[in-house]
Structure 1
């Protein structure tokens, strides 16, 4: 059964934690959530280090650490090639998972993710359209220009897709159930347009577009790290400050109003943050599937929270992306898979599990 704004919260109850105050803002500090966050942070550091060992010049963890703080050829390899890739994966996973946690909390549906907000489909359509349209211009120069501008194209396309979903879902207010239905419809249209463009385009250009659509961390540099880092720095503080409003949105609109929360404004601001996080992450690494869907649900169960916890979800996303990239680079060595392929293979069974679980609940 799909949760709506009138249904009770679909997540299990959780005990209250000790209040943590910082000026006018306050949070409930739950020992289990804090412990889970620390474990996920440690796992992220470990997986990042393991990923940086891999390359044409194999290194131990000690050599990687020494190269970061030292000098010489190893320092250049780590700082210019391996560290940017690792940081891009971690930051992209963090942004996607945080966007997913916000989306699932607002829609009150564990199957919700930024994909239904139109971010990923919109980004994919814009990138594919420009690559296909400019591929033969000036003897291939247009294709090069499109490749260089892919992050900006993805950001603009993802934002435009989300704006289309938001506009169509608004009916004097924003209902989570209607948002999901409209998002599914708009995403289906964008997906079919994308595949039509791939069909009519040149096979070489379609192949280049498919590499981006699969989601890959290969060749990521500091120019990909910086935008995601800035987005997280700017957006995470207001998102955490709005955690109280996000928690209140689990209940019906009357209850939310009674708690002193302006529901439409709160939903709009949190959705805007989720859209920007997902759009920037998609622009940096392409559409990495299922991280935004699975990470919040994994974090919810590990932390035993009432809804996807924001900090734990973000760290879980970083772990999932770093682990998937490690598998992508080692499972079929020397062939390297796009990280999006690995997350899709791992995430598809989890999606089936969520669907089966939802059906069983509807029958009971």
Structure 2
């Protein structure tokens, strides 16, 4: 046995310990944020009151506030953050670019356009969820059709998505100017990303969607990791790169659509969570589980800040993530220049 073998084994062991430590720490942060989200606010509830409400033994007011309002919001933040973290990890792995995300490639804008069409032109009183799903799926089809017309590659797919995102943003602005004032106000709040109106039905939709799509990712996990090594290596390993790439893009787009359908387009999470997970966990590639856990924790913390920073005024969580996302982009640019 060569000297390099025990050294490689030791390095892998250290990476695994670091991965586990950071993963546990992130889960602890998410747990603390969840406790803060459940107990604080205009109506303060102690841990005992929260526990009683969750077990069905609390008084009526506490049960309504904790179980009816706060629990769905916390669960939705965790699920949406995990979905966006997974989507970002897939996009960045396929593009091998830390700036690739559903926000930049156009899927978030497409989901928003679908919702706005429904709210402003078809059924103003309806939920924006159905429109978000349809808009996201149509955007996937258009991006893939544009890329396929000249041969699918990560560069063409990203460029097609950026171009389409720019066009859809203009369409969104036009729809807002044509909508009645009340509808435009509600649509604008939704476009900023908000978890204020989430319900257990939304949570059920999120968990079902994430569960099914995660099973697809598990089924193609080997091919996914092979693509990380480059197309030539993946082909040598027997991976059908074109089909697998299309499947992964569709899965990532559907994850984004599920998140957008519930809370509107929330930026930064899909962009930064995978890179935060990779850097803090010391992974050689972008970890899927780490990205999901990091995205869930970051979005939940951001939502708690959005609720409590200017209390009693609550701001959309998308505004908080946008501020952090801008700082993150400046940091990426400064590192690349150096």
- TM-score between the two structures when normalised by the length of structure 1: 0.85
Aligned partners of 1:236 and 1:33: how far apart in 2? 20
Q: Is the 8 A contact 2:132 2:260 kept in 1?
A: yes
Residue of structure 2 equivalent to 1:5? none
Stretch of structure 1 that moved more, 110-119 or 302-311: 110-119
Residue of structure 1 equivalent to 2:90? 102
Residue of structure 2 equivalent to 1:65? 51
With over 3 angstroms needed to count, the CA separation of the structure-2 counterparts of 1:15 and 1:244, relative to structure 1, is: farther
Deviations 1:300-354 (A, max 9, x none): 1011112221001100001111000110011111100000010001111101221
Aligned partners of 2:127 and 2:156: how far apart in 1? 34
Q: Is the 8 A contact 2:307 2:314 kept in 1?
A: yes
- Three-state SS of the structure 1 residue aligned to 2:145 is helix
Stretch of structure 1 that moved more, 179-188 or 346-355: 346-355
RMSD of aligned C-alpha atoms?
2.1
- By how many angstroms is 1:172 displaced? 6.8
Residue of structure 2 equivalent to 1:143? 124
Aligned partners of 2:178 and 2:105: how far apart in 1? 27
Residue of structure 1 equivalent to 2:241? 263
Unmatched 5+ stretches in structure 2: 1-8
Residue of structure 2 equivalent to 1:212? 190
Aligned partners of 2:35 and 2:137: how far apart in 1? 33
Aligned partners of 1:260 and 1:281: how far apart in 2? 33
Aligned partners of 1:258 and 1:75: how far apart in 2? 58
Residue of structure 2 equivalent to 1:4? none
Residue of structure 1 equivalent to 2:3? none
- By how many angstroms is 1:15 displaced? 8.5
Residue of structure 1 equivalent to 2:73? 85
- In the alignment, does 2:162 pair up with 1:181? no
- By how many angstroms is 1:256 displaced? 1.2
- By how many angstroms is 1:33 displaced? 1.8
- By how many angstroms is 1:133 displaced? 2.0
- TM-score between the two structures when normalised by the length of structure 2: 0.91
- In the alignment, does 2:26 pair up with 1:48? no
Deviations 1:198-234 (A, max 9, x none): 1233333221110110000002111111111001111
Deviations 1:64-102 (A, max 9, x none): 233212423223432221101110111000001110001
Residue of structure 2 equivalent to 1:284? 262
Residue of structure 2 equivalent to 1:333? 311
Q: Is the 8 A contact 1:117 1:275 kept in 2?
A: no
- In the alignment, does 2:108 pair up with 1:120? yes
Stretch of structure 1 that moved more, 208-217 or 50-59: 50-59
Aligned partners of 1:184 and 1:208: how far apart in 2? 27
Aligned partners of 1:268 and 1:17: how far apart in 2? 32
Q: Is the 8 A contact 1:240 1:310 kept in 2?
A: no
- In the alignment, does 2:294 pair up with 1:306? no
- Three-state SS of the structure 1 residue aligned to 2:45 is coil
Q: Is the 8 A contact 1:40 1:312 kept in 2?
A: no
**Counterpart pick for 2:19 among 33, 36, 39:** 33
With over 3 angstroms needed to count, the CA separation of the structure-2 counterparts of 1:168 and 1:116, relative to structure 1, is: farther
- Three-state SS of the structure 2 residue aligned to 1:30 is helix
- By how many angstroms is 1:299 displaced? 0.4
Aligned partners of 1:162 and 1:15: how far apart in 2? 43
Number of residue pairs matched? 328
- By how many angstroms is 1:297 displaced? 0.7
Deviations 1:97-149 (A, max 9, x none): 11000100001100000123432111111222232224xxxxxxx422xxx33
Stretch of structure 1 that moved more, 93-102 or 243-252: 243-252
With over 3 angstroms needed to count, the CA separation of the structure-2 counterparts of 1:347 and 1:318, relative to structure 1, is: same
Q: Is the 8 A contact 2:114 2:133 kept in 1?
A: no
Residue of structure 1 equivalent to 2:6? none
Q: Is the 8 A contact 1:173 1:264 kept in 2?
A: no
Unmatched 5+ stretches in structure 1: 1-13, 19-28, 135-141
